Amino acid sequence: MKDASKRRKSELYNHLKTAIMTLALRPGADLDEASLSEEFSLSRTPLREVLRQLAGEGYVDLRENRGARVSEMSHTTLRDFFLAAPMMYGAVLQLAATNALPQQIEALKAAQMDFKQALQSGSGADRAMANNRFHEITGEMADNIYLAPSFQRLLIDHARIGMTFYRPRDQKMTENLSEASQQHDAIIAAIESGDEATAAQLAIDHWNLSRDQIELFVMPAGLDVQLGTVARKTPA
């Protein structure tokens, strides 16, 4: 009985995670807890346990007496995302090159194989989730308690605002996806050899590749800095 409940909780967790990251559930959408409870045959207590886990990881917001909703995105969060992403990716990959364990490197290689397969025959959602798993593993490799929660939140929004990148509309975007895959291979090689400098530079190159495509579809009004740059204070 416990095993069945655990399995259903895992299924619900993965369902909601995928739906949120692929925009099947839109930012700010209310979750119908009664329907989810019925669909996954879970009582309120295990259902709320799953929602609390997702809230802790940044996927949903829990509101007292108002239920759960998908974490929102706004001009402010988009601005913060573009400012923080290159720094975060660089720090994570540099630490990954220092701290990666052999079994993690094998997991990263397997994730890259899944990504390549998704590029060949998967949907846009399949590609986004495969790419996300690749980068989740690099975050695990970094093994830093301060970076981990921030990086996890960054990956959620990168998947959501980058969904268009994984639905190629022209030859250029298809070529960029091929280049992204090649960069993944280079990242694996740098991490496996413990080359921190190369890993950090590849992080910036990889970010720039997806950023250029994201900017074509996401240009928040009110941004007063160039996307991907760090705002500097004007001297008094």
Q: For position 5, what pLDDT does the model report?
A: 84
CA–CA separation, 96 and 136 (whole Å)? 11
Cβ contacts of 78 within 8 Å, gap of 6 or more? 157, 161, 218, 220, 223
Burial class of residue 58 (count of CB atoms within 10 Å of its CB; 0-12, 13-18, 19+): middle
Task: Please give the tally of structural domains in the chain.
Answer: 2
* 3-class secondary-structure state, position 63: strand
- 99 and 197, same domain (yes or no): yes
Cα separation values, 100 from 13, 153, 219, 222, Å? 27, 21, 36, 40
Q: For position 232, what pLDDT does the model report?
A: 47
CA–CA separation, 182 and 186 (whole Å)? 6
Q: Give the domain CATH number at 113.
A: 1.20.120.530
pTM score, whole prediction? 0.82
pLDDT averaged per 10 residues in sequence order, the chain, 236 residues? 85 95 92 94 93 95 88 85 92 98 98 95 88 96 96 92 64 77 97 97 90 63 42 45
Given a contact cutoff of 8 angstroms between Cβ atoms, the answer to whether 48 and 4 are in contact is no
- 162 and 95, same domain (yes or no): yes
Domain extent for 17: 2-70
Structure-token match 């740059």, residue found: 229
Q: For position 115, what pLDDT does the model report?
A: 95
Given a contact cutoff of 8 angstroms between Cβ atoms, the answer to whether 71 and 156 are in contact is yes
What is the rounded end-to-end Cα distance, in angstroms, of the chain?
A: 66
Q: For position 3, what pLDDT does the model report?
A: 82
Q: Is residue 229 part of a domain?
A: no
Q: Give the domain CATH number at 22.
A: 1.10.10.10
Q: Is residue 234 part of a domain?
A: no
Q: For position 164, what pLDDT does the model report?
A: 60
